[in-house]
């Protein structure tokens, strides 16, 4: 659980996460936007199918993998939000072609 | 500083725009080297000065004066002639120093006569039961959310582990208006005995006053539990609580929504190891690092490593190492002579030696306890492929040859993080199981591409006629 402690003078953008509209800051990464919206899990794991969320936020752990605009296994912590971006939580293994 | 278009060849390429990379690129460009700085993040600063160029006033205030210092380095780059590429993920460097990187979904490449690897460090793995639950993350991760998104943890927050960053983060959370339910400190009391030897040098350094003020600030406001010897994250789908024990006492469980773990920082090995740089074990810092000389030069002629990637020294030392490596690059490429290099580097070399000696106190005091480095039972070691400590222990007992063979047997270290979150743990488990030094065990062999990249992305590289000829049957 996270909350903003200041309102930075940066434009808002709207993204879709699993179909839900989320308004967030243009300077956010996808993972940060999801935390700000109260989501701490972003995928289920490839072997045991357990819930998993971002762990390192710096591109090292690859636990923040999500589907962005139809492309799977994108690092949510390394990708900046863009207005109209479509994000999906990633279920288990990556599928062929996405 | 310019951003586009890139040349095909540079005198010097610097990888990573943290303090070392920023200082190296700016220094080299000023000395007249054509320089390109490639960085994975959307804006310069690395992790320590993350988001500095864009941070809100309130965020800068919460993060403190040391963070604001990063602006000087960013300004130094901006006023230099170095080319800077943000969002560039380097995934391969060929033996001929062709650097391949992803940028905006496409692969590109530049060549350089000399390369300074300034890829920094990462937090040491902290494998405890439940560390894979959503709600558990590293202290560094929470700090990045503070820096880049003005997010402070809310709800019930617990920090656990050991090391300066844990205390710094605690102070920053408090200054940002957050609350912390408890800090569970795992520092072993016996570390103090060994650390005392290094105390005088530490007290004489700038670290001491800052560190003590920080400790006092946090202890006034937060419940600190010291001597924690057992720790696990408890929950089902997400974190619900943190269980801890001190020695043989009964376990205490405190409810928690967020658990932030930290037990030090270790050099990032992937690029230097994949390049073939000679790697050594640093027993004091308990981590692998590339072997470098005073100038950051590695065992390979054209590669230097600067900053925390060559051994953990902190942000100020990283900037010094960046400048020193840039001066050496200018000397090796014939732009300055040796006396000029030595003269220009004198101050940084001296200050670096002094600061690294002062830091030994921190290395020894915050040496993480064995039970948090060598996990047992069902604790997950490889987060990507979900391999437990029990399974790794079993194959070690069966006589598996080493970390590389573990990969073949159980896919440990073969997921998307490429062993970044389990490499050190697997080495430590071997060392503990066999009663030998981690130096003897070694580390996973790290191979290119050092970041996951699709075949399509790789194929989009401009290979040229020579490469086409090599694969096309005529």
Question: What secondary structure does DSSP assign to B15-70, as a single string?
Answer: E--SHHHHHHHHHHHHTT--EEEE-SSSSSSTTTTTTTTT--HHHHHHH-HHHHTH
Contact of B292 with B298, CB cutoff 8 Å: yes
Q: What is the CATH code of the structural domain delimited by A12-91? A: 3.10.20.740
Contact of B147 with B218, CB cutoff 8 Å: no
Query: Average pLDDT in the B156-174 region?
Result: 97
Residues 85-144 of B with CB under 8 A from A: 89, 122-123, 132-138, 140-142, 144
pLDDT band at A97 (very low <50, low <70, confident <90, very high): low
In chain A, residues with a C-beta closer than 8 Å to the C-beta of B148 are 27-29, 32
pLDDT of residue B473: 63
Average predicted confidence (pLDDT) for chain A: 95
pLDDT of residue B323: 98
Say which DSSP state B419 is in: T
**B51–A27 CB contact, under 8 Å:** yes
What would the pLDDT profile of B220-265 be if each residue is shown by its tens digit?
Answer: 999 999 999 999 999 999 999 999 999 989 999 999 999 999 999 9
Query: Average pLDDT in the A22-40 region?
Result: 97
Average predicted confidence (pLDDT) for chain B: 95
In chain A, residues with a C-beta closer than 8 Å to the C-beta of B415 are 46, 62
Name the strand (E) or helix (H) holding B239. Answer: strand B239-245
Whether residue B474 has pLDDT greater than 70 = no
Give the Cβ contact number of residue B43 at 10 Å.
Answer: 19
Q: Look up the pTM and report it.
A: 0.96
- B125-263 has the same fold as B9-122+266-336: yes
Q: Structural domain boundaries of chain A? A: 12-91
pLDDT of residue B166: 97
**Would you state the structure tokens that stand for residue B7, as one six-digit string?**
């040349």
What are the φ/ψ torsions at residue B141 (nearest 5 degrees)? -65, -45
pLDDT band at B440 (very low <50, low <70, confident <90, very high): very high
Pairing of strands B121-123, B265-267: antiparallel
What would the pLDDT profile of B83-93 be if each residue is shown by its tens digit?
Answer: 999 999 999 99
Q: Is A12 exposed, middle or buried (0-12, 13-18, 19+ CB in 10 A)?
A: exposed
Question: In this predicted complex, what is the ipTM?
Answer: 0.97
Whether residue A84 has pLDDT greater than 80 = yes
CATH topology of domain B374-441: Arc Repressor Mutant, subunit A (1.10.10)
Whether residue B104 has pLDDT greater than 90 = no
Among the ranges given (A56-65, B45-54, B325-334, B456-465), the one the predictor scored with the smallest mean pLDDT:
B456-465
pLDDT of residue B439: 97
**3-class secondary-structure state, position A36:** helix
What span, in angstroms and rounded, lies between the C-alpha atoms of B449 and B129?
31
Percent of chain B with pLDDT over 70: 99
In this complex, the residue of B55, B89, B152 whose CB is nearest that of residue A2 is B152
* A-interface mutation test, from B52, B148, B425, most A Cβ less than 10 A away: B148
Contact of B446 with B273, CB cutoff 8 Å: yes
In this complex, the residue of B59, B142, B416 whose CB is nearest that of residue A73 is B416
- Which of these, B110, B119, B35, lies nearest to B76 by C-alpha position? B35
Query: Average pLDDT in the A4-8 region?
Result: 94
Peptide linkage before B15 cis (omega within 30 of 0): no
Percent of chain A with pLDDT over 90: 92
What are the φ/ψ torsions at residue A29 (nearest 5 degrees)? -80, 165
- Which of these, B16, B12, B10, lies nearest to B318 by C-alpha position? B16
Percent of chain B with pLDDT over 90: 87
**3-class secondary-structure state, position A8:** coil
Contact of B137 with B127, CB cutoff 8 Å: no
What span, in angstroms and rounded, lies between the C-alpha atoms of A20 and B259?
27
pLDDT of residue B460: 85
pLDDT of residue B457: 87
What span, in angstroms and rounded, lies between the C-alpha atoms of B408 and B397?
16
Contact of B356 with B186, CB cutoff 8 Å: no
Whether residue B268 has pLDDT greater than 60 = yes
Give the Cβ contact number of residue B199 at 10 Å.
Answer: 15
pLDDT of residue A98: 65
Angle at B101 between CA B99 and CA B105, to 5 degrees: 160
Contact of B321 with B306, CB cutoff 8 Å: yes
The domain B9-122+266-336 is classified under which CATH number: 3.10.20.90, 3.40.228.10, 3.90.1150.10, 3.50.50.60? 3.50.50.60
Query: Average pLDDT in the B289-316 region?
Result: 97
**Would you state the structure tokens that stand for residue A84, as one six-digit string?**
């109209």
Query: Average pLDDT in the B433-458 region?
Result: 93
CATH topology of domain B125-263: FAD/NAD(P)-binding domain (3.50.50)
């Amino acid at each position: 659980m996270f909350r903003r402690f200041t309102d930075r003078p940066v434009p808002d953008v709207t993204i879709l996460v699993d179909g839900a509209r989320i308004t967030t800051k243009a300077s956010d990464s996808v993972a940060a936007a999801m935390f700000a919206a109260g989501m701490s899990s972003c995928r289920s794991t490839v072997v045991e199918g357990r819930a998993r969320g971002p762990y390192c936020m710096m591109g090292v752990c690859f636990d923040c993998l999500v589907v962005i605009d139809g492309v799977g296994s994108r690092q949510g912590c390394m990708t900046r939000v863009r207005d109209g971006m479509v994000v999906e939580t990633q279920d288990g293994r990556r599928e062929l072609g996405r | 500083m310019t951003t586009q278009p890139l040349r095909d060849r540079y005198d010097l390429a610097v990888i990573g725009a943290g303090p070392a990379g920023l200082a190296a690129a700016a220094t080299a460009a000023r000395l007249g080297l054509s320089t390109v700085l490639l960085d994975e993040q959307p804006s310069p600063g690395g992790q320590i000065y993350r988001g500095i160029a864009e941070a809100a006033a309130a965020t800068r205030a919460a993060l403190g004066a040391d963070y604001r210092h990063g602006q000087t380095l960013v300004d130094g780059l901006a006023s230099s002639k170095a080319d800077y590429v943000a969002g560039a993920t380097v995934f391969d460097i060929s033996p001929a120093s062709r650097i391949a990187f992803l940028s905006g979904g496409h692969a590109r490449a530049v060549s350089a006569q000399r390369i300074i690897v300034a890829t920094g460090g990462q937090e040491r793995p902290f494998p405890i039961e439940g560390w894979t639950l959503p709600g558990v993350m590293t202290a560094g991760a929470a700090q990045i959310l503070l820096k880049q998104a003005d997010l402070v943890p809310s709800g019930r927050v617990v920090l656990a582990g050991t090391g300066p960053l844990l205390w710094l983060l605690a102070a920053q959370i408090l200054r940002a208006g957050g609350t912390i339910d408890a800090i569970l400190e795992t520092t072993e009391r016996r570390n103090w005995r060994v650390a005392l030897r290094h105390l005088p040098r530490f007290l004489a350094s700038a670290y001491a006053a800052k560190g003590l003020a920080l400790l006092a600030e946090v202890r006034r406001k937060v419940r600190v539990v010291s001597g924690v010897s057992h720790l696990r994250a408890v929950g089902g789908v997400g974190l619900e609580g943190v269980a801890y024990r001190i020695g043989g006492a009964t376990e205490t469980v405190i409810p928690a929504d967020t658990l932030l773990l930290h037990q030090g920082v270790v050099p990032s090995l992937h690029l230097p190891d994949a390049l073939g740089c000679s790697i050594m074990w640093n027993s004091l810092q308990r981590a692998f690092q590339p072997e470098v000389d005073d100038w950051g030069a590695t065992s390979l002629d054209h590669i230097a490593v600067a900053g925390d990637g060559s051994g953990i020294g902190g942000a100020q030392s990283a900037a010094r190492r960046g400048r020193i490596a840039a001066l050496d690059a200018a000397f090796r490429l014939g732009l300055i002579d040796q006396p000029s290099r030595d003269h220009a580097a004198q101050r940084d070399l001296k200050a670096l030696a002094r600061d690294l000696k002062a830091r030994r106190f921190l290395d020894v005091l915050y040496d993480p306890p064995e039970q948090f480095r060598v996990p047992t039972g069902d604790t997950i070691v490889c987060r990507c492929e979900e391999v437990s400590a029990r399974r790794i222990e079993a194959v070690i007992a069966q006589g598996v040859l080493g970390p590389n063979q573990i990969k073949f047997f159980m896919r440990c270290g073969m997921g998307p993080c490429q062993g970044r979150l389990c490499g050190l743990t697997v080495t430590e488990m071997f060392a503990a199981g066999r009663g030998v030094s981690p130096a003897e065990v070694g580390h996973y062999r790290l191979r290119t591409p050092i970041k996951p990249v699709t075949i399509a992305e790789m194929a989009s590289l401009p290979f040229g006629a020579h490469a086409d000829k090599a694969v096309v049957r005529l």
